[in-house]
Structure 1
Amino acid sequence: MDKAQDLDTLALATAERLARRHVGVAVAVVVGGQVAYAAAGTTGGADGGTPSADTLFEIGSVTKTFTALCLARMAVAGTVELDEPLARLLPEGTAVPSRGGQEITLRHLSTHTSGLPRLPKGMMLRALLRPRTPDPYAGCTADVLLSGLARTRLGSTPGRRVRYSNVGAGLLGLALARRAGTTYGQLVTTQVCTPLGMSSTGVAGDASRPGRLAQGHDSRRRPTPPWSLADLAGAGGLRSSATDLVSYVRAHLDCGSPELAEAVRLTRQVEHRDNRFSWMHLGWRAHRLHPRQGAHLQIWHNGETGGFASFVGFDPETGTAVIVLSNAQRPVDAPAFDLLRTLQDQATSRDARPGTL
């Protein structure tokens, strides 16, 4: 069996494994210059067809890596500075919390070290009062977010420790769009998607391609409405396809895109240790496996909305990457990590053999 067939088999095995508990799944694997796609299950739409490499899925918090890359591009261009206070990018008079004499900076927002809570102020109460709301983030307009920010107390001094924050990532997207004089969706298109030829990626209002968005399903596999996230889109509002995300991870694997190479390098130059085993880059989580597991580097992010789950992971040292997209609110991480490690092991074994290319 040749290398391409091996990749096809591995991708299909993962798609079929996930489809047994999900509804529909699309998988893509990258090893050097080789790419394989596989899918299983159904899109859940009227036609009930199998997902394809071009089917659109909500990618949830994988969006945060796009927001981080926008930050890096704008920093490289001199439009913003990583250590610029968030307050400078928000409307004049906006109250931004601080702690220990430290202001929240753009770097803090992208590495989840701002001290901000996970959810916007008052959102938990609204969810309890309206438990059946299809999109809990639908009311997160800029006015609501900034009003809540003024009433928020930080859980730690900015820059001190990692505390995962959806509201922080959403505020970063909102702030960057304000500095650029555009919407978040247009910002991502200009800074990331157009340079990489990713024509199918965008926020709900910008990526309304009839018939291509898979039907989302909750954890019990019941159909559920899509999410938009309003002005919190920078935290999880993008939709994308396996095809587009292959272009995206390739740009991160070899920094080969001339327009984005310096920005991609910057995202990985920034590191904040979460603990002795893992750390944060700009937007990305990262860890290195134990030597008994191959000591591989894994840079990754997952995502989940009310009807979808996603995973994007890669290793620039072995040139391998895995993309998994599902239209059910069930985690896909374990099979995705298993597949990534298999690819890494194979790449390392191949490179170690005398005479291999």
Structure 2
Amino acid sequence: MKRSVLFGILATVVVLIGLLIVGPQRIALAKNNTGDEELAHKLRENAGKAQNQITAFTFHNGETTFAGVGADENTEVEVGSVTKTFTTELLRQQVESGDIKLDTTVGDIIDVEGSEVADVTMLELAEHTSGLPRLDKDNFKIFGNLFAANPYLGITQKDIFDAARTASLSGRGEENYSNFGVALLGQLLAVNANTDYADLVEDNILDPAEMNDTYVGGETNIAADAPRGLAANGKETAPWGMDGYAPAGSIRSTAADMSKYASFLLENSEFEFGWFPEDSGGYWHNGGTYGFSTMLIVDPEKNEAFFTSGNTPQGVEELAVAIRPGGNS
């Protein structure tokens, strides 16, 4: 049996066991709207059955508009894999400053002599073409979602580097989405800058963009009363604080701050890598943790951006499309 098939079967079994142990609770859409009524109406009308709280912003025609259902633009959420766009933006900045090149290899930054990953480039890591698996087999906790726990807990930068040294590459040159690859990329960028990933993000993105309510959620800096998402069974999830995998999914933010991030990108970024392109000229990236879902769309040609987030695993991609001009009413 292929490893990917086995992984999927095991994950399904774990979820079913978890539901039997902790019991399902009904997830219902919150009753109160916040912010702009027209935008809130669109969110409510297009919400999925398993959504509870929603926050969003639109940036269109030079104007930013916020709205929410059961939450507002200052509600903290886990942005999940949208974090990866922060990591690839850091790569773009280091390339622009001459501190690194797209063809710089893993072996140019850390000692990985004799490993398959030694000549993998920064660009390959950013574009998910390195051949690294989605998750490293040594550290990821497949049973983490049994009690909506954090599957990345306890994984350090050293663990990422050690796993890279022993990793086998498969399908190199083909696009295969890899949390492991982007985690490795972000940690390498931090080493290259002689700092850690959290400080690298803060110094080069959060501070310049004045994103004062955004931070890299590590294992020790998430407040006890920070918002928790809801698992598929309606139970609160543990926050996804992470160290080793931080560059792949650890950032916590708000709709207000994500609007600042979008403006920062529209002013500075070229969206060369790390994003999924649209035929219309825009770019998008979504994110998901055990308790949150997010979607960010940016369109540099039209100078507009759209963001949606929810506090359940129910995807919010269709919501982001619905709030764009010409989307669903």
| 1:163-182 pair list within 5 angstroms | 163-182=176-195
Q: Which residue of 2 aligns with 1:325?
A: 309
* 8 A contact 2:308–2:319 mirrored in 1: no
Deviation string 1:230-259 (CA, Å, 9 cap, x unpaired) is 211000010011111111112233x2xxxx
Q: Which amino acid aligns with 1:60?
A: G
1:286 aligns with 2:277: yes
**Partner SS for 2:298:** strand
**Partner SS for 1:231:** coil
Runs of 4+ in 1 over 6 A off after TM superposition: none
Deviation string 1:112-162 (CA, Å, 9 cap, x unpaired) is 1111110112356x42598447111113212322222222111123xx221
Q: Which residue of 1 aligns with 2:135?
A: 119
Q: What is the number of residues matched between the two proteins? A: 293
Q: 1:95 to 1:170 in 2, by over 3 A?
A: farther
**Partner SS for 1:217:** coil
Match of 1:307 among 291, 296, 303: 291
| 1:245-256 pair list within 5 angstroms | 245-253=258-266, 255=267
When normalised by structure 2's length, the TM-score is: 0.82
Q: CA shift at 1:28, angstroms?
A: 0.5
Q: CA shift at 1:341, angstroms?
A: 5.4
1:155 aligns with 2:174: no
* 8 A contact 2:43–2:69 mirrored in 1: yes
- Give the distance between the partners of 2:85 and 2:204, measured in 1 at CA: 13
Q: Which residue of 2 aligns with 1:142?
A: 157
- Give the distance between the partners of 1:176 and 1:328, measured in 2 at CA: 31
Match of 1:316 among 292, 300, 303: 300
- Give the distance between the partners of 1:136 and 1:335, measured in 2 at CA: 27
Q: Which residue of 1 aligns with 2:319?
A: 335
1:34 aligns with 2:63: yes
Q: 1:94 to 1:37 in 2, by over 3 A?
A: farther
Q: CA shift at 1:81, angstroms?
A: 1.0
Long gaps (5+) in structure 2: 1-34
When normalised by structure 1's length, the TM-score is: 0.75
- Give the distance between the partners of 1:96 and 1:188, measured in 2 at CA: 29
Deviation string 1:11-42 (CA, Å, 9 cap, x unpaired) is 2123324275312111111103111111112x
* 8 A contact 2:80–2:292 mirrored in 1: yes
1:204 aligns with 2:220: no
Q: Which residue of 1 aligns with 2:239?
A: 226
Q: CA shift at 1:94, angstroms?
A: 5.8
1:187 aligns with 2:200: yes
Q: Which residue of 2 aligns with 1:97?
A: 116
Q: CA shift at 1:209, angstroms?
A: 5.7
Q: Which residue of 2 aligns with 1:292?
A: none
Q: Which residue of 1 aligns with 2:94?
A: 74
1:12 aligns with 2:40: yes
Q: CA shift at 1:305, angstroms?
A: 0.8
Deviation string 1:265-286 (CA, Å, 9 cap, x unpaired) is 2xx3x3xxxxxxxxxxx21111
Deviation string 1:97-118 (CA, Å, 9 cap, x unpaired) is 24xxx92111111111111110
* 8 A contact 1:207–1:239 mirrored in 2: no
CA RMSD of aligned residues (A): 2.5
* 8 A contact 2:148–2:231 mirrored in 1: no
Deviation string 1:306-357 (CA, Å, 9 cap, x unpaired) is 11111100212222211111111211111212323526x99xxxxxxxxxxx
- Give the distance between the partners of 1:188 and 1:156, measured in 2 at CA: 30
Q: 1:202 to 1:136 in 2, by over 3 A?
A: same
Q: 1:94 to 1:233 in 2, by over 3 A?
A: farther
**Partner SS for 1:321:** strand
